[in-house]
Chains A and B, each alone.
Chain A
C-alpha cells in the first residue's frame, strides 16, 4: 500500500509559511533562530489569543493550512511529534511553583504543558474523534509519527495529519548554554557547514503533512521509506541497514539521486554524516537544510517540507547543495538525520 504526501506546510525561521517554494533568500541569524510568524489574529479569537502559548498557535496554524491545502474532507488520524513539548508553558508553571513555594498557582499553564496539547487542540478544532498520538523521543519524535502514519495507511486509513514542532525560549537557550550545546555567538547560520567548531544553532519550527493512501492533484511525492535506527555499532552496520531498508522499499542505492543530510554545524557529530556521505553515497548529489531552520528535535520535519518542494519542482536551490549538481532529474531523495551517532533516521521520498 503506497503512501503519498498530499499536503505540506511549515512555519520556520525562514519565509516558508504558505510558500509553495523554498525561499531563495536566506535570513541570517547570529543568535537564536526564531520562527517568522504569521498574523495569528487571522486564526484565533481574542480568548484563544490570550490563552494559547506561542507553540500551540504556530502548530495549530500550520496544521490548519496543511489540511486546507490537501483539501481533506475527513482526517482519519492526527499524529504529532515534539521533543520538549510545550516548553514555554512548562517553564511558566515550573517557575511560578518555585517562586511561590508551591502556592498561588493557576492551572492553565499546567494543562497546556503536556506534549499532546497541540494534537488535542487540533482534534478539537476539527472535531476529529479518531486516533490521536503524540511522540516525544528526542530527534526521533517526528520520524516516529511518520512511521506510525505508514502503519495506519497499511491498516486501511486514508488521510493522516502528521506534524512535528518544537519551540525555543530564551530561558531554555540560556539553560543549555551550561552544557555547551550552542555555537558561541555571534555565529551565522549561513556558515554552519564544515565550520570546524563545536556546538550548533538553536532553531525551532513546525511542519505538518497530510499522508494519504490516494494520489491527488495536490500530491507532492510518494513516501517510500521511513526507518528509525538506534545506536548503530559502526559505520558498516549502519550502511548495511540502509541498503537492506532501501531494498525492502524496492530501491537500490543507485536509485537515490539526492541525499539531504542533517548537518547542524557541530564538528563533533557532523563527522558521522561525512562518513556516510563519502562512503555509501559518494555517487549521489548532496544537500543540507539546518542553515534554514537551526537545530531542534523535530528539525527533520523541516527537512521533509523542503524535500516535498524539491521533488515537486525538480529543483534544488543553490543554498541547499553541498556538492556540484550531477543529476538532471531528481526522482528519489533520501533524508538522513542523526543525533550523536545514536539515533538515526532515514526517509525516502519519490517523485510520482
Chain B
C-alpha cells in the first residue's frame, strides 16, 4: 500500500465550458452557466433554471468525430468528450500498452434517451441497451482503446468521487498502473421531475451556504482524471497527488442528512486520517454545497465539528455549473486540482449572509496566491452516501 497516486491528466465539460481552459476561465471570472433550458424538452422549461451545456447531441458527435447516426445517450457523449481531453492532457496515446482501467460514476445512465423513446419503440429501441450505467463506461473505454478493466459505480451524487477513490485504491494495491476515472450525467426529465417533487429546486440561480438559500439547480456535465502510479508519472507533469479519500454512510435517512452530520463528519475525518495530514494542513475545501436547506446546514455542522474555530476557506462551485449529480464529484475534483495548480480559491456565487447558528462564510472573491498545499473536496448523496477526497501538491 505504499504506492502513491498522482494526477497526470484532467478533462471536463460543463455549463461553464467545453474544456479545462474554458472552465477555469469561467471560475476565475465569476461567470456562471445557470439559465433557461434550450436543449432539454420539458414542461418545466419556463419555471426553472439549470446548468445546461449549450451543445446539441449532433454537435457533440461532431466534436467527437463520430458519425451523426451514432445512437449514444447524451450522458455517454459528455463522458467521452471529457475522458478524451483527460487522456490527451496526460499524453496517453493509442499504442501504449500500460494496464489501464476505466472507472465511471453515473446516476441514471442513459435515461435521457430512455425517457424520450420509452413510448416510441417503433422509432427507436437502441435505448434498451444504452440505459444501464455500465454502457457509458464501455463506450468510453472502447473510444479510448483501453481494454483492461472497466467498472461503474452508482451511488447517487457521490458517484464520480467514488469512481476516483476506487481508481486510487486499485493503483495503490498494484492491480492497475493507470486509471481513467470520472463521472458523467446529462440533464433528464426524470431527474428534474424527481428533484422537483422533493421541492429541492431553486427556481432562481442557487445560493450555496446563504441564509436564504432555496434549493439547488440541476446541471449536466462530465469530469475525468487520469491517475497514475509513481513509476508511470515519474517523468511527467504531475498536477498533484491524491493523498486521502474516504466514504462513510450517514445511516439516517434516504434523502436527508442527520442533524449532527455524522456521515459527512466521518468521511472528512477518515480521509484526513488516510492522508496523514492534520486539520490545519487543509487550505481550501471545495464543499458539496448544493444550496439546499439541509445539505449546507449539515455540511457546515460537519466542518465545524472537524475544524472547530478554524474552518479553512471554502466555496461551492455549484452556482456555476448546477448540481451535476453523478458527475459532480469528478468535476469538482477537476476544479479542486485547478485550484491547487493555479494557487487560487474560486469564489462562491450568490452569497449574502451566513446561515444562522453556523456563522460560516464562504470565499466570495477570488483569492490569489492562496498558498494551497492540500485541498478537500466533498460529495454527498442520497442513501446517506458521503465521500471526501484530498488532493495534495506533492
The chain A residues found within 8 Å of chain B, CB to CB, are 78, 83-85, 93-94, 97-98, 101-103, 105-107, 110-117, 119-121, 123-124, 126-138, 140-141, 144, 148, 151, 154-155, 175-176, 178-179, 228-231, 233, 297, 342-343
Q: Please state if A138 and B197 are interface contacts (CB–CB under 8 Å).
A: no
Q: Please state if A129 and B263 are interface contacts (CB–CB under 8 Å).
A: yes
| Complex: chain B residue closest to A120, CB-CB | B383
Q: Please state if B132 and A84 are interface contacts (CB–CB under 8 Å).
A: yes
| Complex: chain A residue closest to B386, CB-CB | A132
Interface residues of B in 339-374 (CB under 8 A from A): none
Q: Please state if B249 and A97 are interface contacts (CB–CB under 8 Å).
A: no
Q: How far is the CA of A30 from the CA of B196 in the complex (A)?
A: 42
Interface presence of B278 (CB below 8 A): no
| Complex: chain A residue closest to B121, CB-CB | A178
Contacts of A148 on B, CB cut-off 8 Å? 166
The chain B residues found within 8 Å of chain A, CB to CB, are 1, 42-44, 107, 109, 114-115, 118-119, 121, 125, 128-129, 131-135, 137-138, 141, 147-156, 162, 166, 169-170, 173, 189-190, 193-194, 196-198, 246-255, 262-263, 266, 381-385
Q: Please state if B198 and A110 are interface contacts (CB–CB under 8 Å).
A: yes
| Complex: chain B residue closest to A126, CB-CB | B251
From B147, B197, B198, B248, contact of A132 by CB (8 A): B248
Say how far A299's CB is from chain B's closest CB, in angstroms. 15
Q: Please state if B134 and A138 are interface contacts (CB–CB under 8 Å).
A: yes
| Complex: chain B residue closest to A132, CB-CB | B249
6 A–B contacts, CB within 8 A, in A order: A110-B190, A129-B266, A148-B166, A179-B129, A228-B149, A233-B147
Q: Please state if B383 and A133 are interface contacts (CB–CB under 8 Å).
A: no
From B125, B173, B246, B251, contact of A124 by CB (8 A): B251
Q: How far is the CA of A110 from the CA of B254 in the complex (A)?
A: 11
Given the contacts A103-B43, A120-B383, A120-B385, A112 and B153 also touching, CB distance less than 8 Å: no
Query: Which 4 pairs from chain A and chain B are nearest by CB?
Result: A120-B383, A110-B194, A137-B134, A115-B154
Contacts of B383 on A, CB cut-off 8 Å? 114, 116-117, 119-121, 123, 132, 134
Given the contacts A103-B43, A124-B251, A128-B251, A137 and B152 also touching, CB distance less than 8 Å: yes
Contacts of B384 on A, CB cut-off 8 Å? 120, 123-124, 132
Contacts of A154 on B, CB cut-off 8 Å? 1, 173
Q: Please state if A124 and B148 are interface contacts (CB–CB under 8 Å).
A: no
Given the contacts A85-B154, A124-B251, A129-B251, A138 and B194 also touching, CB distance less than 8 Å: no
From B125, B134, B247, contact of A178 by CB (8 A): B125
Given the contacts A112-B254, A137-B137, A97 and B193 also touching, CB distance less than 8 Å: yes
Given the contacts A97-B115, A148-B166, A230-B147, A132 and B132 also touching, CB distance less than 8 Å: no
Q: Please state if A116 and B381 are interface contacts (CB–CB under 8 Å).
A: yes
Q: Please state if A230 and B128 are interface contacts (CB–CB under 8 Å).
A: no
Q: Please state if A114 and B156 are interface contacts (CB–CB under 8 Å).
A: yes
Q: Please state if B154 and A121 are interface contacts (CB–CB under 8 Å).
A: no
Contacts of B150 on A, CB cut-off 8 Å? 137, 140, 228, 230, 343
Q: How far is the CA of A120 from the CA of B255 in the complex (A)?
A: 10
Contacts of A135 on B, CB cut-off 8 Å? 151-154
Q: Please state if A97 and B190 are interface contacts (CB–CB under 8 Å).
A: yes
Q: Please state if B248 and A105 are interface contacts (CB–CB under 8 Å).
A: no
From A94, A98, A133, A342, contact of B162 by CB (8 A): A133
Say how far B16's CB is from chain A's closest CB, in angstroms. 26
Interface of A is mostly: mixed
Contacts of A101 on B, CB cut-off 8 Å? 43
15 new A-B contacts, CB < 8 A, other than A119-B155, A127-B251, are A84-B131, A94-B115, A114-B107, A116-B381, A116-B385, A121-B254, A128-B251, A130-B248, A132-B248, A133-B247, A134-B383, A135-B152, A140-B151, A151-B169, A231-B141
Say how far A59's CB is from chain B's closest CB, in angstroms. 13
Q: Please state if B125 and A179 are interface contacts (CB–CB under 8 Å).
A: yes
| Complex: chain A residue closest to B253, CB-CB | A124
Q: Please state if B153 and A133 are interface contacts (CB–CB under 8 Å).
A: yes
Q: Please state if B147 and A133 are interface contacts (CB–CB under 8 Å).
A: no
Q: Please state if A230 and B255 are interface contacts (CB–CB under 8 Å).
A: no
| Complex: chain A residue closest to B122, CB-CB | A178
Contacts of B149 on A, CB cut-off 8 Å? 228-230
Given the contacts A107-B198, A119-B383, A132-B247, A155 and B151 also touching, CB distance less than 8 Å: no
Q: Please state if A129 and B154 are interface contacts (CB–CB under 8 Å).
A: no
Q: How far is the CA of A123 from the CA of B247 in the complex (A)?
A: 13
Q: How far is the CA of A228 from the CA of B246 in the complex (A)?
A: 24
| Complex: chain A residue closest to B142, CB-CB | A231
Say how far B341's CB is from chain A's closest CB, in angstroms. 29
Q: How far is the CA of A134 from the CA of B162 in the complex (A)?
A: 9
From A83, A116, A133, contact of B132 by CB (8 A): A83
Q: Please state if A98 and B118 are interface contacts (CB–CB under 8 Å).
A: yes
Say how far B122's CB is from chain A's closest CB, in angstroms. 10
| Complex: chain B residue closest to A124, CB-CB | B251
Contacts of A342 on B, CB cut-off 8 Å? 138
Q: How far is the CA of A140 from the CA of B137 in the complex (A)?
A: 12
Contacts of A231 on B, CB cut-off 8 Å? 141, 147
Q: Please state if A132 and B385 are interface contacts (CB–CB under 8 Å).
A: yes
From A98, A130, A138, A228, contact of B249 by CB (8 A): A130
Contacts of B114 on A, CB cut-off 8 Å? 94
Q: How far is the CA of A112 from the CA of B153 in the complex (A)?
A: 17
Q: How far is the CA of A112 from the CA of B266 in the complex (A)?
A: 24
Q: Please state if A175 and B107 are interface contacts (CB–CB under 8 Å).
A: no
Q: How far is the CA of A229 from the CA of B262 in the complex (A)?
A: 37
Say how far A225's CB is from chain B's closest CB, in angstroms. 12
Contacts of A176 on B, CB cut-off 8 Å? 128
Q: Please state if A136 and B133 are interface contacts (CB–CB under 8 Å).
A: yes
Contacts of B262 on A, CB cut-off 8 Å? 129
Given the contacts A97-B115, A116-B154, A123 and B251 also touching, CB distance less than 8 Å: yes
| Complex: chain A residue closest to B150, CB-CB | A230
Given the contacts A94-B114, A230-B147, A114 and B44 also touching, CB distance less than 8 Å: no
Given the contacts A116-B156, A124-B384, A94 and B190 also touching, CB distance less than 8 Å: yes
Contacts of B154 on A, CB cut-off 8 Å? 85, 114-116, 134-136
Contacts of B137 on A, CB cut-off 8 Å? 137
